[in-house]
A and B are shown apart, each in its own frame.
Chain A
Amino acid sequence: MQPSEGVTSPAFQLGALALVPDLSGALHAPDKRLLIVADLHFEKGSALARRGSMLPPYDSRETLARLAALVLRLKPKTIIALGDTWHDRGGHSRMDSSDEEVFAGLRQGIDWVFIAGNHDPEPPPELKGSAMQEMVLGGVTFRHEPDSRVETPEIAGHLHPAAKVKGRGRSVRRKCFVSNQSRCILPAFGAYTGGLNVLDPAFRPFFSDSGFKAHLIGERRVYGIGPLSLLPD
């Protein structure tokens, strides 16, 4: 069966925001020309290299290239980075100068908001002006870690959701967005970030067993899939 466009509308509403999960792993609010990305984890490669795993030092470059393509395609006015933008406190100082330039270029003419994450509670000095703990827009709170105690709508990252689907005797595991009426958790955007299965107990405080939808990132588009079709790892 060929997946056909428009069978399901991938868009959903949260507070006053109409949101579209994008194939890139970013969440798009076209009306507001707003892009939301989570967990970029810049310089995760060099952080691991310091501990002896000499992973290719191109993860920041790759993440930036994906961001650049996204900016070119969707032309946002604002980008909100939902925390863990840097893999660790010293991360920004290890970034290669050519990568830094690309990053600076991406900030030209776009308002960035850097939400604080557990990996990067303090923003790099030059970005202090655009750093925040949390922010509210259109009745939706943007924060790094989802908060199960509040009822108001929120958009968060931190958990790196992924989901697994079975069919034809094999299974497919992909990064995904998870959402219900009041909450959306974004997949991790960074090149070296993995995923945690949405059926993991870590998600339980935020989503009831049946009342959520996983938006799996395929090769050509995003697939909205209900919990009954999902598998644990």
Chain B
Amino acid sequence: MDSVNLLAPFAEWFAKRGWQPRAHQLELLDKASQGRSALLVAPTGAGKTLAGFLPTLVDLASLDANVLKKRGLHTLYISPLKALAVDIARNLETPVSEMGLPFTIETRTGDTPAHKRARQAERPPNILLTTPEQLALLLAHRHAGELFGGLKTVILDELHALVTSKRGDLLSLDLARVHRLAPHCVTIGLSATVREPEALQRYLVPQLKGENQLADLVTVSGGAKAKIGILKTANRLPLAGHTALASMPEVYKAITAHHMTLVFVNTRMQAEFVFQELWKRNEASLPIALHHGSLDVGQRRKVEAAMVAGKLKAIVCTATLDLGIDWGDVDLVINVGAPKGASRLMQRSGRSNHRLDEPSEALLVPANRFEAMECQAALGAVEAAAQDTPDARTGSLDVLAQHVLGMACADGFIADELYQEVCSAEPYHTLTRADFDAVLDFAATGGYALRAYEHFAKIKRGNDDIWRIATPQAAQHYRMNIGTIVESTMLKVRLGRMTKAGTPARGGRVLGEVEDYFAEGLVLGDTFIFAGEVLRFEGLVSNEVIVARAARGVDPKIPAYAGGKFPLSTFLAERVRVMLADPASWKILPTEVSEWLEWQRDKSIVPAANELLVETFPSGDRHYLALYPFEGRLAHQTLGVLLTRRLERARLKPLGFVCNDYGLCIWGMGNIGEALVHGTVSLDTLLSEDMLGDDLEEWLAESSIMKRAFRYCAVISGLIERRHPGQEKTGKQVTISTDLVYDVLRRHEPDHILLKAARADAALGLLDLKRLNDMLNRIRGHVVLQHLEKVSPLSVAVLLEIGRESVYGEAAEDILAEAEQSLLAEAME
């Protein structure tokens, strides 16, 4: 039967709206009817979601009401955002009710009441829209086999966004289980354009050992090309900084000239700042709102509703509005700061004119001169439609440990079979049996060489060889700890004043939440921007930050680091290097930027695209070493730490370093320039790849980076319990610090599987080791050394980041010593 006939019941409904089913929608319908899984890659506005659901709607429409009632779960829709699931459900209900179709559609998220969730597991709807975490919980249900047995379609929305994180690992394991419970089930992946669609095609179907299984690919090409420009400002672009203050008048003007604007920024701090600056200029009192992840949920929902209703002129937002929800009639996207990646820029600009046949319009607003170059490079990349989405992941072992517990909660598993199943998930395709066994052992008893916990095992193998959850408590423990997102501890921000007795006056409104490390840095009377207001810190009471509104005209203390959290993509970095090497290309840059580069050429050197420029110069009573690898902040930070250690060993007394996405500067007491001239140290040695061996290991062992990575792995793998809201005040002995556990484990069992998982995470997400390694390879034999009398133009832009970074070395010890000194001073008075 061809798809046009299949579509007959819908023809009328389509016609009434003057719609024509699009080619890719029919193609996907065709694939599904042949039982073939498929990946749909399409730009925003191509009707991806409808395409994904069409096979389901057609199939369900052919069944009568009685069959449907008994049919159970037919289609699962998985979205990375619960709001998106809710939104899609609403959009589906319209055609379904208008056509009088009798099937049931429900959502299931963390917000769904417990009784409804329980009912859904007993009597599921025909279409269930949910998140990866909820799917994991359903699959861990004892009756998962019956629940999923009749499943025909799984739709994975925003797949490109899901697969780049541990959530993607979890979802891949769940998919592997779904494929096993419902072997004929078809998967449909919906994705924005990506660099390597094959990775996603593999993700959708079970992988067999030694074979490359691919889902079919359906691509919607074209769409109108985005109109992306770089905002020109009348003010001079500063050398450093991330606030884009210079461009605010023009940003405001652009907002005025459009119907509705989304202003994307890279961090919450930037969002607060930009929002504040726009309102300072808002003579027309335009409705400009703020949206970021730390704001109170109620407040966010209000903003979203106002946006849908078309009541807003602009929203300043972070990545929280990056994904798919069609909030309203946006006709301009402004990206403040450099975009960091070409694909991200294309996806963000797609948020304006959410229709395929109209060009989307976007403006880039560089905040400093390096960013001006990066923005220009990004334009070139978009013009060439070049993608730079991240590489496919290798599945994390901590996520696997969580999954193993879940599968033991379902009706148990045989180890050999579960290993096969897990390996059929794309991210775990190369998992070794040894690692799998270690994870299984870990899930059961902690997996320690000292077999101390056999009696307390959480999962046990029965005489029938089946591993099952050992106790109801262990199952409860698993359900409470589901998921892969480990939030940093958040503190509520509440309006109120402290009374004289040092307790807060009650009744203030909650404005939102901040990370605990931010609150820790605050001193009584400090002012900061939050929720669009300047607030004064009044005190910390249990787990709430008490604030008061600051007097008008009071300047906020701008939070320390305001740079982006996404690292510059390798691809854009290369384009920036090429641009830097070619003075002819500087003409299109703003005058102050090309002048700055010319100045660099005169005073120092402009390196060729394949070269690494290294400069030395004295300044004050310090000696500086500046490098420009253009490899992103994370890789530079790692390089900075390792180089500093090497300089220390060479007795050059390094004191600190600073870096941004483009370069780094190290300074110290020793004359590094002279040491290089005399050959007492050489750049070849300093920059040799063996720094990623012992030096790295030594540093990692004592750094807080491993501890942080370990904490996340410990929570995800179920080693320690996740903290839940309201549970914080459980007293000193109950919650054990994972730092202590890390120290003990590292000393007594350094090869433990969880340390391996933490190391892999740190290497990827916190240290960017692969990139650093690639860079060290790339520059071998291509290092240009330039000795200067004074600071170079490029280095100024890096050095201006000082004060935003913590200082290297034994700072912690010095802080203690200084505090002791101040006690002494007190005593002397």
Contacts of B821 in A (CB 8 A): 1, 7
In the bound complex, residues from chain A placing their C-beta under 8 Å from that of B744 are 56, 58-59, 62, 191-192
Question: How far is the CB of A132 from the nearest CB of chain B, in Å?
Answer: 24
Min CB gap A152→B, angstroms? 27
CB atoms of A57 and B446 under 8 A apart = yes
Is B453 within 8 A of A49, CB to CB?
A: yes
Name which of A44, A50, A53, A196 has the most chain B CB atoms within 10 A of its CB: A53
Q: Known contacts being A1-B814, A3-B814, A166-B523, is A54 close to B450, with CB within 8 Å?
A: no
Interface residues of B in 495-554 (CB under 8 A from A): 520-521, 523, 540
* A6 proximity list for chain B (CB < 8 A): none
A55 touches B747 (CB 8 A): no
Cα–Cα, bound, A124→B91 (Å): 68
B62 at the interface (CB under 8 A from A): no
Is A167 an interface residue, CB under 8 A from the partner? Answer: yes
Interface positions of A from 1 to 21, Cβ below 8 Å from B:
1-3, 7-8
Within 8 A of A (CB), among B797-818: 806-807, 810-818
Q: Using Cβ atoms and an 8 Å threshold, which residues of chain B touch A3? A: 813-814, 816-817, 820
Q: Is the Cβ of A225 less than 8 Å from the Cβ of B819?
A: yes
C-alpha spacing A191/B474, complex, angstroms: 26
Asked if B10 is an interface residue, CB under 8 A from chain A, the answer is no
Chain A CB within 10 A, most for which of B735, B745, B813: B813
CB pair A160–B807 under 8 Å, yes or no, is no
8 A Cβ contacts from B696-748 to A:
719-721, 732-733, 735-737, 740-741, 743-745, 747-748
Contact B745 A56 (CB under 8 A): yes
Residues of B653-702 at the interface with A, using a CB-CB cut-off of 8 Å, are: none
In the bound assembly, the distance between CA atoms of A116 and B458 in angstroms comes to 33
- Residues 46-102 (chain A) with a chain B CB within 8 angstroms: 46, 48-59, 61-62, 94, 96
- Chain B interface residue count, Cβ-Cβ cutoff 8 angstroms: 53
Q: Which residues of B contact A232 (CB under 8 A)?
A: 540
Whether A168 contacts B740 in the complex (CB less than 8 A), given A54-B458, A55-B446, A194-B732, comes out as no
A170–B517 CA distance with the chains assembled, in angstroms: 9
Min CB distance, B467 to chain A, in Å? 16
Given A225-B823, A229-B823, are A55 and B818 also a contact pair (CB < 8 Å)?
A: no
Return the contact of B820 from the options A55, A160, A225 (Cβ within 8 A). A225
Q: Tell me whether A56 and B741 are in contact (CB under 8 A).
A: yes
Q: Which residues of A contact B822 (CB under 8 A)?
A: 228-229
Contact A218 B732 (CB under 8 A): no
Interface of chain B, helix or strand or loop or mixed? helix
Question: Assuming the A-B contacts A56-B446, A62-B744, are A7 and B456 also in contact, with contact meaning beta carbons closer than 8 angstroms in the complex?
Answer: no
Q: Does A172 contact B (CB under 8 A)?
A: yes
Mark A177-206 against chain B: 1 for CB-CB distance below 8 A, else 0: 000000000000001111110000000000
Cα A100 to Cα B815 in complex, Å, equals 40
Contact residues in B for A139 (Cβ distance below 8 Å): none
Residues of B within 8 A of A61 (CB): 748
A71 to B814, CA, bound (A): 29
**Nearest chain A residue, comparing its CB with the CB of B737:** A194
Which residues of chain B from 439 to 453 have any CB-CB distance to chain A below 8 Å in the complex?
Answer: 442, 445-448, 450, 452-453
| Chain A residues closer than 8 Å to B818, beta-carbon distance | 1, 167
What residues on A are CB-neighbors of B737 within 8 Å? 194
Closest beta carbon of chain B to A205's beta carbon, Å:
17
Q: Which residues of A contact B811 (CB under 8 A)?
A: 168, 170
B826 in the interface (beta carbon within 8 A): yes
Is B824 in the interface zone, CB < 8 Å from A? yes
Answer whether residue B752 sits at the interface, using C-beta atoms and an 8 A cutoff.
yes
B446 neighbours in A (Cβ, 8 Å): 49, 54-57
A interface footprint on B447-465 (CB within 8 Å = 1, 0 otherwise): 1101011001010000000
Cα of A220 to Cα of B812 in the assembled complex, Å: 11
Inter-chain CA distance A195–B738, complex, in Å, is 13
Cβ contacts under 8 Å, A211 to chain B: none
A229 x B819 contact (CB < 8 A)? yes
Docked Cα-Cα span, A21 to B346, in Å, equals 61
With A49-B446, A50-B456, A165-B819 known to touch, is A171 a contact of B732 (CB < 8 Å)?
no
Is the CB of A174 closer than 8 A to any CB of chain B?
Answer: yes
Instruction: List residues 138-181 of chain A with CB under 8 A from any CB of chain B.
Output: 160, 165-172, 174
List A residues at the B interface (Cβ < 8 Å). 1-3, 7-8, 44, 46, 48-59, 61-62, 94, 96, 160, 165-172, 174, 191-196, 213, 216, 218-220, 223-226, 228-229, 232-233
List 15 contacting pairs A-B, 8 Å CB cutoff, sorted by A. Answer: A1-B818, A46-B456, A48-B736, A52-B473, A94-B452, A165-B815, A168-B807, A191-B743, A192-B741, A192-B744, A194-B737, A195-B732, A218-B813, A223-B816, A225-B819
Extra contacts, 9 of them, besides A58-B749, A165-B816 (Cβ < 8 A), are A52-B721, A54-B446, A62-B748, A166-B815, A170-B811, A192-B736, A192-B744, A218-B812, A219-B810
